[in-house]
């Protein structure tokens, strides 16, 4: 015990030196970016009080102490400054802030640019954490500007319930929940990544026999590389598109009547999927080609408009009710206004994404009015060529709208994946008919 009494004070006295030594070792072992992150973290901690005062992130405490206030207290208020804790991350820092008084999330959001300038960093985002705390994501290297490549594998595991879109500014995964989803609406200028998004979605789902694809290609050539893995496929022919939508709608009707008999539950997502009842994904690229009625007076215009109205009616029902039976519709267009995608369809899509847009009106049509409250994720800021492949979305586990860099899938890899998984392609209506057939009628 006597020896312990002498040892403990020594350890306590050496604690600051121990911390410094640990930081020094971490600094020596870090790469160039890691060292810059550590230096930035030290600077933020040591200059925080001065930075908070300069940015107005403090409050004067005018409450009188229990013994009453004095004349000196009236002339000099005590300043309340939020406390912070700084932790390094992959591309920057995470700053945990303990709020005080009336200094909260709105104040930090308003001062985000001032803090970024004071700390000399590329980007800073404030978001709520647990009650009484905020999180500041400080980015030194913008991961959105780093092009990434996705190499698919026919043996890769497939997650039907979550789609990892890519990474955010901080290099961390950005994902959306795809369970209980029947509609995905995608907007964006031509050449900014909509087709790449389809390729990425295809690459993440194609290795599983629990997924089947129906593809309608409004450009007539963009999705042809994937058709080996699709049980239905067509180009920009309206009659063929009408046929495919009719087939998927018929599948919806068949499944609605058979779900209790085959799945023994009322919803596709209430249990594990089976090969006899795969998730069916209908992709319509350049959707306005098939959903916009013409005002022409040509003799064939009336027939064309009748088919368009028929397609709109079937898609409307699929988007509103298809999730229960495991059908998802993905609609892509440049400017998703009511003329391109009827609002009865667009506004019922649970997931909305937008690549670069040129106007506020187009961004609102794609994402809704709330996007104006998140200027850092506004699609108008994505017109820089460096942001080709970057999408704005309401992501799971992230407050408000976030940006995500979609990994690029090459044409060669997409063709190879479609070929290597073509044997998994099957017509879901035939699979359902086989599941409903009596056992003695199924051939050996």
Q: Is 401 annotated as a binding residue?
A: no
Please give the helix or strand (H or E) that residue 195 lies within, else none: helix 194-205
Contact 139, 91 (CB under 8 A): yes
Nearest to 183 by CA among 24, 55, 322, 296: 322
Strands 351-354 and 183-187: parallel
Q: Is 189 annotated as a binding residue?
A: yes
Strands 390-394 and 351-354: antiparallel
Q: Is 195 annotated as a binding residue?
A: yes
Q: How far apart are the first and last CA of the chain?
A: 82
Q: Is 188 annotated as a binding residue?
A: yes
Q: Which residue has the tokens 């901690």?
A: 45
Task: List 213's β-bridge partners, or say none.
Answer: 230, 281
Return the DSSP state at 228. G
Q: Is 219 annotated as a binding residue?
A: no
Q: Which residue has the tokens 């209430």?
A: 270
For residues 365 and 302, give the distance between their C-alpha atoms in angstroms, rounded to a whole number. Answer: 28
374: phi > 0 → left, psi -120 to 50 → alpha, else beta; which? beta
Binding-site residues, in ranges, read 188-195
Binding-site residues for ATP, in ranges, read 188-195
């Amino acid at each position: 015990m006597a020896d312990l009494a002498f040892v403990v004070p020594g350890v306590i006295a050496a604690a600051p030196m121990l911390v410094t030594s640990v930081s020094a070792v971490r600094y020596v072992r870090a790469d160039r970016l890691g060292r810059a992150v550590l230096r930035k973290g030290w600077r933020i901690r040591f200059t925080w009080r001065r930075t908070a005062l300069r940015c107005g992130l403090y409050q004067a405490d005018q409450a009188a102490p229990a013994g009453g206030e004095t004349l000196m207290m009236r002339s000099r208020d005590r300043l309340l400054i939020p406390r912070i804790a700084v932790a390094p991350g992959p591309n920057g820092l995470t700053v945990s802030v303990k709020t005080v008084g009336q200094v909260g999330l709105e104040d930090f959001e308003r001062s985000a640019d001032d803090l970024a300038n004071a700390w000399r960093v590329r980007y800073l985002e404030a978001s709520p954490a647990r009650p009484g705390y905020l999180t500041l994501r400080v980015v030194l290297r913008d991961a959105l500007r780093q092009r990434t490549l996705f190499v698919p594998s026919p043996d890769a595991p497939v997650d039907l319930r979550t789609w990892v879109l890519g990474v955010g500014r901080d290099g961390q995964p950005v994902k959306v929940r795809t369970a209980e989803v029947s509609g995905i609406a995608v907007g964006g200028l031509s050449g900014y990544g909509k087709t790449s998004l389809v390729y990425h979605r295809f690459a993440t789902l194609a290795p599983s026999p629990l997924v089947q694809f129906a593809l309608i290609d409004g450009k007539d050539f963009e999705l042809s590389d994937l058709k080996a893995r699709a049980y239905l496929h067509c180009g920009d022919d309206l009659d063929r598109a009408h046929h495919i939508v009719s087939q998927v709608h018929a599948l919806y009707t068949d499944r609605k009547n058979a779900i209790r008999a085959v799945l023994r539950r009322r919803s596709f997502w209430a249990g594990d999927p089976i090969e006899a009842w795969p998730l069916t994904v209908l992709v319509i690229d350049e959707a306005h080609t098939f959903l916009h009625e013409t005002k022409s007076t040509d003799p064939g215009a009336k027939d064309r408009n009748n088919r368009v109205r028929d397609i709109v009616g079937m898609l409307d029902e699929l988007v509103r009710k298809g999730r229960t039976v495991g059908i998802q519709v993905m609609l892509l267009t440049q400017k998703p206004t009511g003329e391109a995608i009827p609002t009865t369809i667009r506004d019922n899509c649970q997931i909305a994404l937008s690549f670069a847009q040129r106007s506020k009106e187009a961004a609102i049509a794609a994402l809704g009015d709330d996007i104006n409250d998140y200027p850092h994720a506004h699609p108008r800021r994505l017109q820089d060529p460096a942001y080709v492949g970057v999408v704005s979305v309401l992501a799971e586990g992230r407050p408000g709208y976030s940006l995500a860099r979609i990994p690029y899938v090459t044409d060669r890899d997409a063709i190879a994946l479609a070929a290597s998984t073509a044997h998994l392609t099957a017509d879901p209506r035939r699979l359902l008919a086989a599941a409903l057939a009596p056992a003695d009628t199924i051939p050996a």
